[in-house]
Structure 1
Amino acid sequence: MTAFAGTGVGVATWVTRTPAIRDALGATTAEMGLVIAGLSVGSILGISLGGLLVARRGARFVVVGGMTAIVAGMVVIAVGAATGQSLVVATGLAFFGYGMGSGEIGNNVSGVELEVSVGRSVVPTLHGCFSLGTVVGALAGLVANHVALPVAAHLGLAAALVGAGTVWLSRQVPAGTGRVERGAPGADDQPAGEPEPRFAWLDARLVGLGVIILGMALAEGSASDWLPLIVVDGYGSTAVLGSVIYAFFGAAMALGRLSGGRLIDRFGRAPVMRTSSLVAAAGIGVVVVAPDLVVAAAGVLLWGLGASLGFPVALSAAGDDPRHAARRATAVATAGYAAFLVGPPVLGLLGEHVGLRDAMVVVLVAVLATTFAAGAVRPRPAPVEPLG
């Protein structure tokens, strides 16, 4: 699970250089949204195959394959940025997205199974490691911007570091986690010879979890992709300060996740989830209307703290049913990554017409909608009848 941190470093490394990549390509905000769509295409493929691959080959196989694709993607992005080829950058982002989507499905399934086995909230802490990785990546971007390091050199160095880390991390992830032996008695926790309804794992509670993770993942993804550019274009500041503000956001996410397990164990999932949604919405609202970057930084703090627990809490709730924990966790993670990766390119197209700050109103509305579904994260006292 410590691979979360390595993935976070890779994500933040290129995200914090988005202004530099845009300048290298000579792209507008709308064109950058289309380039980032390459990330969405790869990620949708990754999350579509991730659950199937975990069931057949185990989490470690999927995580290692995903990290390898991330490294390859960064190399291709570096080549595209150096040559000014938007299509090459989009292709590299597709590799990157596939690795991130499939690899984190494996990581999330491992985390949910670990939480079930230890009987306490640990998924938020594991996601906190991811957020710490984004802070490291943002600080690396800050240094790279300060010394005017070329984008290709920056991403090439990041690829080498993440690749070396993957070799070590692959030995720390259990090989068989999440794997389902087809045809074995009890493989789906059903009596041998007794068929299980095809969609027995799908219920109204899972739909509610999907609503939560759609809104909260959109909040996290829009910050990851656009916050540095909001600082540059929306507030007329520098790329260096864009990296600083993004590092601040990552630190807020890490703080919320590392402390979230204790809050959940004390106050319960639903109250914490509802409060988090309101805090995130308040923070996004401040960023939209703030008169200057100092006030906006306070909004970024609230935005990060509020958005931090949406993804891990929804995943924990999805894993409550021991019969279908891996399948339900995969479904929820898929909804989350769809919002995390499809939403930001759409916001880029909208931002071209109304400005990136005003485009965040869409995210604000989506986050507020999650408050009405917060009850879905309550611990499941008994099996729920499937839909249909």
Structure 2
Amino acid sequence: MHEPLNARQIGLWRNAIYVIFTLCGFATATWISRTPAIRDTLGASTGQMGWIIFGLSIGSILGLLGAGHFIASKGGRFVMMNGLLIGAGGLAIIGVGSSFFTYAPVVFIGLAIFGFGVGICDVAMNVEGTMLERATKKSLLTGLHAAFSLGTFIGAVVGWYATKSHISVITHLSIVLILLVVLIVYLSRFVPKGTGQESKTDAGAPTLTTKERLAIWKEPRTLMLGIIILGMTFAEGSANDWLPLIMVDGYDTSPTTGSFVYGMFVAAMTIVRATGGILLDKFGRVAVLRASALSAIVGLLIVILGHNYIIASIGVVLWGFGAAFGFPVALSAAGDNPHGVAVRVGAVATAGYLAFLVGPPLLGMIGDSIGLRMALIVVLVGIVFAGFTSHAAKPIGENGQATTK
């Protein structure tokens, strides 16, 4: 940002970013909610569908790796808005590929484009969130990630209704595309230009060179924040992918009960994220992260060692409480120093998404040998490491020196 903003402008900026987080979650859930219909239309097997979805992973990783450079060059607003537009275009290609051509490679390409757009938007909106925290002097990222969770819930409900009402995939995705484009164009006016963009005036330092941007990935504090987000995101992603099966296979519950227990996990995370700003402002990042790690450790131990699903459900809630803070707090800490903020947030976010993408399949492979419940020991180890490195989230000033909490 190159000009100071008044309170009204900051308020409009904050509200716009909340909506954008919601839109990003909504768009993601839109695709997920129609995967059964797309699979059936393509006539793809489970293995073939896995390869098709791999396009999403490729696009997401490329977007995450390139986001820091794009933001440093063009600014957060440019990358965030164009990322959502690219993602909307990817949805259009998915719709066409699954409805008109019924050709799997087209869907693969659409998913790669969608993943790339959402990936760069994700980093950019988190950079906007960290800059908002600086402007308001309040902890906002946990609330913003709660908005993302709300968006996924809304997208899932809309997808369920579209499926139940026999609304075609192309019609559903086209409506979502139009909604995204209209809201992006409308919201862009409220987001200041140049957030996260490197210039010679930022923090009194010259523009970072490519070599300096790469060096940021090796900074001790950035690496430790990466460990925090790896451990906590592994805990979150593992629950998203495996918790219903853990309850069904590990505790002999019905699929309905397994889904309900997973709903408890999501609800616990969403509630904590929605109210987390108050806790962070009162107790600070380090104390909250340590308490989160402890909660997740206790919760996982209960799930691993429990003897009935009711006790295990209590553990799941504690697990959800503990996993809620890692991602947003680590990203908030990565944005403390405005010089190189886009690269740091991008590096830490990439670590988090690698845990999302790689961690759950790894857990599945281990679970084949020792069972999913016992495989959670790997998640437990990751959280222990995250807890031990929590001190890295201590706030620093623009000069890189630690401040308070």
- Normalised by the length of structure 2, the TM-score is 0.77
> Measured at CA, do residues 282 and 75 of structure 1 come closer, stay the same or move farther in structure 2, by a change above 3 Å?
farther
User: Structure 1 residue 208: deviation in Å?
Assistant: 0.9
Deviations along 1:99-138, one digit per CA (max 9) or x if unpaired, are 1110011111111112122222122222221121122123
> Measured at CA, do residues 150 and 112 of structure 1 come closer, stay the same or move farther in structure 2, by a change above 3 Å?
same
State which of 47, 54, 61 in structure 1 corresponds to 2:78. 61
Take 1:23 and 1:179, find their aligned partners in 2: how far apart are those partners? 44
Query: Could you tell which deviates more after superposition, 163-172 or 227-236?
Result: 227-236
State which of 213, 223, 237 in structure 2 corresponds to 1:221. 237
Deviations along 1:41-75, one digit per CA (max 9) or x if unpaired, are 10111112211111111111111111112212223
Q: Larger relative CO (CA 8 A, sep 6+): 1 or 2?
A: 1
The answer on whether the counterparts of 2:245 and 2:258 sit within 8 Å (CA) in structure 1 is no
> Measured at CA, do residues 90 and 200 of structure 1 come closer, stay the same or move farther in structure 2, by a change above 3 Å?
closer
> Measured at CA, do residues 41 and 207 of structure 1 come closer, stay the same or move farther in structure 2, by a change above 3 Å?
same
The answer on whether the counterparts of 1:5 and 1:129 sit within 8 Å (CA) in structure 2 is yes
Equivalent residues in 2 for 1:66-145, closer than 5 Å:
66-82=83-99, 85-145=103-163
Is the partner of 2:255 in helix, strand or coil? coil
Aligned alpha-carbon RMSD (Å) = 3.7
> Measured at CA, do residues 50 and 282 of structure 1 come closer, stay the same or move farther in structure 2, by a change above 3 Å?
same
User: Structure 1 residue 170: deviation in Å?
Assistant: 2.4
Take 2:176 and 2:324, find their aligned partners in 1: how far apart are those partners? 25
In the alignment, structure 1 residue 310 sits paired with structure 2 residue 326: yes
Is the partner of 1:177 in helix, strand or coil? coil
Take 1:133 and 1:208, find their aligned partners in 2: how far apart are those partners? 30
Structure 2 letter corresponding to 1:45: L
User: Structure 1 residue 332: deviation in Å?
Assistant: 1.4
The answer on whether the counterparts of 2:232 and 2:386 sit within 8 Å (CA) in structure 1 is yes
Take 1:285 and 1:345, find their aligned partners in 2: how far apart are those partners? 21
The answer on whether the counterparts of 1:111 and 1:122 sit within 8 Å (CA) in structure 2 is yes
Equivalent residues in 2 for 1:148-167, closer than 5 Å:
149-167=167-185
Structure 1 letter corresponding to 2:189: R
> Measured at CA, do residues 62 and 301 of structure 1 come closer, stay the same or move farther in structure 2, by a change above 3 Å?
same
User: Structure 1 residue 14: deviation in Å?
Assistant: 2.6
User: Structure 1 residue 236: deviation in Å?
Assistant: 5.4
Q: Which residue of 2 is the match for residue 326 of structure 1?
A: 342
Structure 1 letter corresponding to 2:83: G
Is the partner of 2:178 in helix, strand or coil? helix
State which of 163, 176, 183 in structure 1 corresponds to 2:194. 176
> Measured at CA, do residues 85 and 220 of structure 1 come closer, stay the same or move farther in structure 2, by a change above 3 Å?
farther
> Measured at CA, do residues 16 and 372 of structure 1 come closer, stay the same or move farther in structure 2, by a change above 3 Å?
farther
Equivalent residues in 2 for 1:279-290, closer than 5 Å:
279-283=295-299
Query: Could you tell which deviates more after superposition, 265-274 or 364-373?
Result: 364-373
Is the partner of 2:337 in helix, strand or coil? coil
In the alignment, structure 1 residue 51 sits paired with structure 2 residue 73: no
User: Structure 1 residue 293: deviation in Å?
Assistant: 7.3
In the alignment, structure 1 residue 375 sits paired with structure 2 residue 375: no
User: Structure 1 residue 213: deviation in Å?
Assistant: 0.8
Take 1:356 and 1:32, find their aligned partners in 2: how far apart are those partners? 23
The answer on whether the counterparts of 1:318 and 1:329 sit within 8 Å (CA) in structure 2 is yes
> Measured at CA, do residues 191 and 40 of structure 1 come closer, stay the same or move farther in structure 2, by a change above 3 Å?
closer
Structure 1 letter corresponding to 2:94: I
The answer on whether the counterparts of 1:16 and 1:246 sit within 8 Å (CA) in structure 2 is no
State which of 193, 208, 215 in structure 1 corresponds to 2:224. 208
User: Structure 1 residue 377: deviation in Å?
Assistant: 1.2
Query: Could you tell which deviates more after superposition, 67-76 or 320-329?
Result: 320-329
Take 1:42 and 1:208, find their aligned partners in 2: how far apart are those partners? 26
User: Structure 1 residue 312: deviation in Å?
Assistant: 1.1
Q: Which residue of 2 is the match for residue 190 of structure 1?
A: 205
User: Structure 1 residue 273: deviation in Å?
Assistant: 0.8
Query: Could you tell which deviates more after superposition, 351-360 or 317-326?
Result: 351-360
Query: Could you tell which deviates more after superposition, 271-280 or 40-49?
Result: 271-280
The runs of 5 or more residues in structure 2 that have no matched partner are 1-16
The answer on whether the counterparts of 1:222 and 1:344 sit within 8 Å (CA) in structure 2 is yes
> Measured at CA, do residues 153 and 222 of structure 1 come closer, stay the same or move farther in structure 2, by a change above 3 Å?
farther
- Normalised by the length of structure 1, the TM-score is 0.80
Take 1:230 and 1:154, find their aligned partners in 2: how far apart are those partners? 32
Q: Which residue of 2 is the match for residue 252 of structure 1?
A: 268
Take 1:84 and 1:352, find their aligned partners in 2: how far apart are those partners? 34
User: Structure 1 residue 275: deviation in Å?
Assistant: 2.0
Query: Could you tell which deviates more after superposition, 313-322 or 72-81?
Result: 72-81
The answer on whether the counterparts of 2:198 and 2:339 sit within 8 Å (CA) in structure 1 is no
Is the partner of 1:53 in helix, strand or coil? helix
Structure 2 letter corresponding to 1:10: A
